[in-house]
Amino acid sequence: MTTLVEQLSSYAASLRYEDLPSTVISQAKRLIIDTIGCALGGYAGEPAKIARDIAGSVTSTRPATVILSGQRSSPDLATFANGVMIRFLDFNDGYTSTGESGHPSDSIAAVLSTAEIMQRSGKDVIAATVIAYEVFCRICDEADLKPLGFDHVTVGGMASTAAAARLLGLTEPTIAEAFNLGIAPNIALYQTRIGNVSMWKGCAYANASRNAVFAAMLAARGMTGPAPIFEGVGGYFKAVTRAPFRLAALGGREHPFKIMECSIKRFPLGQYSQTVVEAALEARTRIASADEITEVRIETVSAAVRLMAGDPEKWAPSTRETADHSMPYTVAVALIHGSVAEHHFGDEYLRDPKIRALAKRIKVEASEEAERRMPEAMRCNLSLVTRSGATHTAVVDYHKGHYKNPMSDAEVEAKFRGLAKNVLEPAQADRLLEALWKIEHVADAGEIVRLTAAARP
Amino acid sequence: MLESTAFRVHGNFVAHIYFGMTAPMDQSIRKLSEYAHQLRFADISDEAVHECKRRLIDTLGCAIGAFDAEPSRIARAVAARYSGNPPARVFGTLRASSPDHAAFANGVMLRYQDYNDSYFMKSSGHPSDTLAAVLAIADAVHADGRAVITAITLAYEAFCNFSDVLEREQGWDYVLYGVVACALASAKLLDLDAAQMAHAVSLAVIPNVALEQTRAGELSMWKGCAAANAARNGVFAALLAQQGLTGPEDAIEGRWGLQRAVGRFEWAPFGGQGGPYRVTQTHLKYFPAVVHSQSPIAAAVELHGKIAIEDIQSIAVDSYWVAKRYADRASPLWHPGTRETADHSIPYIIAAALIDGTISAASFSEARLRDRRITDLLGKMTIREDAAFTELHPAAWPCRIEIRSRSGQHVIATSNFFKGHARNPLTDAEVETKFCQLTTGFLDSQQAGKILAKAWELERLRDIGEVIGLLSVNRAMDRES
């Protein structure tokens, strides 16, 4: 019987760039561009600044570069800093399933750092990215960790381990040790996502990747870890999922790649609110002013109701981290301001009585129809009831950027430029984009991150 | 009271940082971090201060003694790639690394032989593992001896309080105690305020739950490294909190917090709040073998020489529940083929102690593993569980050995508290002897003497770096990369 780690390490060791269909390569490039854009947009976030300060306190004989700042740090701390920047705005891609959900692009932080220290090529970066997505999404499919009390970054660490171990050039049995070493000590609790959300929300996956890189480096040096880490009497199946699972066939040959089922976010907020905010914006076009609204009725998937409107803090958010995961807040902002952007999570908006008052007029319900469509669609049916008694309804199944309603390359670029505008001149952003579209021709992957630093005014 | 202050950062949005002495944290985090924040060197009893010094000496000896172990080399090789600003040094090589990687490398060394101290209550562990974090941060910030003593005392309070209140039956590895203890002790050395300390605890708890698999089945190198990794992540949590990063408010008591995974618990009173400091309650190991063999060794040493080995007809050992592990005569524990099995085999260790009158590293040499006199004695030995003994454990560690000779002699020895147990402590001279034995061949006797002298004067030391700076192994350094 093959263990799960054996299956994963065999895959991580053997998938070749040459075997990837062009659609997969193109999707990987779009997601890498989107992810680096998110890091540029998240650059100024306080947790990002903290993570860079810590990364900046360490030098390395084989350094990895921090995005935009160009600081040279250890690969684990560069991964952490880049990972925090990528995730800070919660604007990077999303994968949803009936099991666990999350942002596989978070693992690109681990890909970039390990590729840089090993001077891997752009093609290696693409292959490792596809591997990370495959590991993340396939494991997410099998178990929802939230009701068990654990955080999806536990799976994120596995995805980052796969990518890091692959890029370090480890053999299959050594990749297995990297998994053993990466999984055993890094089980994270779900509390990160609940109540008054702290800065850690945007750092948790980055931390999992930091530890994944460390585990891969230990394995590379000959360290061995506990096995079998999933199936053992004290393993993951016993303590975390409380039941064993097997993975569906991993992408390659005749099997589809999971990276094709990942969606690019249109709005900088939780992925469960993307269709909701889009529906709100659509319905808004039919009224003259948000002042007319007496009630907002939202029917969508139950997970969205639970995660984005399920606890009292989400109805009166006091931190940026809570607000961008609050359905009432983001819908109210959309209805009043006609868009939801980063600056709408600033303090003057968080304290705005108009937003708070409108949020109170929102009713959120799980809908059976939406539930049936999960995870293929995240249907939202939103109705505005106005003073005159009229009802304006908008229905959105796939938000713009959803893999079934994909952004064009031009739209991906537009999102990138919007994210880069606070830190790069437009011409610099264009040059960076031009280089990123040619990533498969880059000989030394370190160039990718170094380019972001060079682009800095 | 929560004060929220928002301020602009370079971008066009605003971040929040919470200030003030009281963080809006759950009770368990608050109690722990408030205790940590108020603990002062002046509050710590003389006895606890002295025990801190003894554990420092003991732990450093263990670290140097494991310098050549393979995991030690691996951890040093990884740490050698980095340099921190401020740096922390790796024991033995004295190479500057980052505090988190130095904590890992030093933690692997000090734990690898399983020879450092231990604590047994509802769950067990090696609280001195936390010295990996204490010494790395202390080296980085040039902490004085009093700050180090305070941090060690605090780390032991956190680690051992977890052991006091949590059963180890939840399927988790206890290294989490170490992450939290190391985060707190590091936070103390970094002089964080109570709110930052609370965040350090939260940031330590949330991502660092570990699987029990590390201790199950065929053991990997990670068994000796997991606690060092806990120290590494404890240091990291404190560094994040120092910079103002915030963690989940209800990391322990929240609906999806730690207690969901490990069960509900409430802290027992902390040291100095009516009870002794826990650093005085842990046990040092005198003999380099598994802790459950320590009482059997004491009894066997007492019987050494009373009956000629060749004349022994039977050896009956009574012990607590650990006897159950020896029910299967075919188990490798009755026929140890490797050093790692032998130093965990109570029968082997008793046989060697009866023959030699002591146990040392030499007891587990290749030659001794094949020694017919030992294997003959193993064939004559039985181990039973005595239910009364199981009742007494772990408050006591009872073991009774009864030997009968062919010539009709009959001798019995009983041991309750092994040598090094908190209730049968090593003398300071014995602590020094163990240190010197462990460091022989790595440190010259002058170095060892200077380390001991400075450690015994710890509360007058201006910079712990003076002790760490003496830990240079003066051979084979050219092989380190």
Residues of chain B with pLDDT under 50: 1-22, 476-481
Reported confidence tier of residue A59, pLDDT bands at 50, 70, 90: very high
Query: Which residues in chain B have their CB less than 8 angstroms from residue A149's CB?
Result: 256, 260-261
Residue of A nearest to B229 (CA): A185
Backbone angles phi, psi at A362, to 5 degrees: -95, 135
- Does residue A342 sit at the B interface (CB-CB below 8 Å)? yes
Q: Which two tokens stand for residue B122?
A: 């509802």
Measure CB to CB from residue B254 to each of A195, A229, A232 and give the nearest one: A195
CA-CA distance, B90 to B58, in Å (whole number)?
A: 17
Which of B74, B82, B170 has its CB closest to that of A218? B74
Q: Which residues of A fall within a CB distance of 8 Å from B253?
A: none
Q: Region A361-374: what's the mean pLDDT?
A: 95
| C-beta separation of B200 from B187 below 8 A | yes
Q: Pick from B176, B246, B249 the residue to mutate for testing the A interface (most A CBs within 10 Å).
A: B246
Is A191 in the B-facing interface, judged by CB distances under 8 Å? yes
Helix pair angle (A204-220, A75-88), 10° resolution: 160
Neighbour-count burial of B3, counting CB atoms closer than 10 A to its CB (0-12 exposed, 13-18 middle, 19+ buried): exposed
For chain A, the average pLDDT equals 96
pLDDT-wise least confident of A29-38, A144-153, B278-287, B335-344: B335-344
- Percent residues over pLDDT 70 in chain A: 100
Q: Which residues of A touch B243 (CB under 8 A)?
A: 50, 53-54
Q: What is the pLDDT of residue B453?
A: 98
C-alpha atoms less than 13 angstroms from C-alpha of B60 in its C-beta half-sphere: 32
Is any Cβ of chain B less than 8 angstroms from the Cβ of A74?
yes
In this predicted structure, what is the pLDDT of residue B473? Answer: 96
CA gyration radius for chain B?
Answer: 23
C-alpha B106/C-alpha B64 separation (Å) is 9
Q: Which tens digit of pLDDT belongs to each residue from B190-225?
A: 999 999 999 999 999 999 999 999 888 778 899 999
Please indicate whether, in this complex, the C-beta atoms of A187 and B211 are within 8 angstroms of each other: yes
Contact A223 B71 (CB under 8 A): yes
Residue B254 with chain A: CB contacts under 8 Å? 191, 194-195
* Cβ distance of B81 and A74 shorter than 8 Å: yes
Q: What distance in Å separates the CA atoms of residue A189 and residue A431, rounded to the nearest whole number?
A: 41
- What are the beta bridge partners of residue A394? A382
Check B245 against A57: CB less than 8 A apart. Answer: no
Chain A residues 257-286 within an 8 A CB cutoff of chain B = none
- Matching residue, tokens 């409107």: A309
pLDDT, residue A309, reads 94
Residues whose CB is less than 8 angstroms from the CB of residue B434 and which lie 6 or more positions away in sequence, other chains included = B58, B61, B284, B286, B426
For residue B204, give every residue at least 6 positions away whose Cβ sits within 8 Å of its Cβ, in sequence order, or none.
Answer: B179, B180, B182, B183, B184, B233, B234, B237, B238
d(CA A109, CA A208): 11
Does B207 contact A183 at a Cβ distance shorter than 8 Å? no
Residue A457: the pLDDT is 62
CB contact under 8 A, A185 and B17: no
The sign of the CA dihedral A230, A231, A233, A237 is positive
Q: Using CB atoms within 10 Å of the CB of residue B94, give its burial: 0 to 12 exposed, 13 to 18 middle, 19+ buried.
A: middle
- The span from the CA of B96 to the CA of B84, in Å, is 7
3-state secondary structure of B42: helix
- Cβ under 8 Å to B: A residues 99-138: none
Task: Write the residue in A187, A190, A225 that is nearest to B222 by C-beta.
Answer: A225
Nearest-neighbour CA in chain B from A248: distance (Å): 25
Q: Which residues of B touch A205 (CB under 8 A)?
A: none
Count the Cβ atoms, other than its own, within 10 Å of residue B292. 20
Q: Which amino acid is at B20?
A: G
Residue A256: both structure tokens together: 């589809």
> Residue B23's pLDDT is what?
54
pLDDT of residue B20: 38
Is omega for the bond preceding B86 within 30 degrees of 0, making it cis? yes
Distance CA B415, CA B283 (A): 15
Q: Tell me if residue B258 falls in helix, strand or coil.
A: helix
3-state DSSP call for residue B14? strand
pLDDT on residue B13:
31
On chain A, the residues whose CB falls within 8 A of the CB of B234 are: none
For A391-427, what is each residue's pLDDT tens digit? Answer: 999 999 999 999 999 999 999 999 999 999 999 999 9
CB contact under 8 A, A222 and B207: no
Which parts of B6-45 fold into alpha helices (H)?
27-38
* Integer angstrom CA distances of residue A185 from B214, B228, B231, B264: 9, 11, 12, 21
A454 and chain B in contact, CB less than 8 A: no
- The answer to whether residue A149 neighbours chain B at the CB level (below 8 Å) is yes
Contacts of B85 in chain A (CB under 8 A): 57-59
Q: How many CB atoms lie within 10 A of CB B338?
A: 12
- The pLDDT tens digits for A172-188 are 999 999 999 999 999 99
Backbone angles phi, psi at B19, to 5 degrees: -115, 175
Chain A residues 379-438 with a CB less than 8 Å from chain B? 422-423
Q: Are B231 and B107 in contact (CB under 8 A)?
A: yes
Q: Is B16 close to A320, i.e. CB distance below 8 A?
A: yes
CA–CA dist A60, A112 (Å, integer): 16
Parallel/antiparallel/unpaired status of strands A293-300 and A362-366: parallel
Cβ distance A185 to B4 less than 8 Å, yes or no, reads: no
Residue of B nearest to A345 (CA): B13
B211: three-class secondary structure by DSSP: strand
SS3 B256: coil
Q: Tell me how close the Cα of B214 comes to any Cα of chain A, in angstroms.
A: 5
Closest chain A residue by Cα to residue B211: A184
Spell out which residues of chain B touch residue A233, defining contact as CB-CB under 8 Å: 212-213, 216-217
Contacts of residue A319 in chain B, CB cutoff 8 Å?
16
A320 interfacial to chain B (CB closer than 8 Å): yes
CB within 8 Å: B250 and A195: yes
Residue among B221, B243, B261 whose CB faces A54 most closely: B243
pLDDT above 50: residue A196: yes
- Choose among A180, A184, A195: nearest Cβ to B249: A195
Considering only the beta carbons, identify the residue of A53, A186, A345 that sits closest to B243: A53
Instruction: Please judge whether B15 and A200 are an interchain contact, meaning their C-beta atoms are less than 8 angstroms apart.
Output: no
Give the Cβ contact number of residue B460 at 10 Å.
Answer: 10
- Start-end of H helices in B190-284: 194-205, 226-242, 258-262
